[in-house]
Amino acid sequence: MPRIPRDFSKRDPMEQKFLVEGTWCDACKKADLGMLNPVEFEENGKVIVEGICARCRGLIRTTVVVKERKEI
């Protein structure tokens, strides 16, 4: 399936910060190094944020998982 572009800038600023700072880089084998130039899209039914590792400049991807909220 092709990528369906989404607008990362429309996310709440706190959520953007969480997604950009809370990353994992496979090349560095470290967490929370930061992501540069985030791009959001849908692919195969999943929402992905992809960007560049702030440390090694390698490609990193984060799958966005939305948990259902229960109304009380």
Dihedral-angle region of residue 38 (phi above 0 means left; psi in -120 to 50 means alpha; beta otherwise): beta
Domain locations in the chain? 4-64
pTM value is: 0.85
Provide the pLDDT for residue 71.
64
Provide the pLDDT for residue 2.
87
The average pLDDT across 43-58 equals 96
CA–CA distance, 30 with 5 (Å, rounded to integer)? 28
Nearest partner of 54 among 20, 11, 9, judged by Cα? 20
- pLDDT, mean over the chain: 92
Instruction: Give the pLDDT confidence of 28-47 residue by residue, as tens digits.
Output: 999 999 999 999 999 999 99
Provide the pLDDT for residue 50.
97
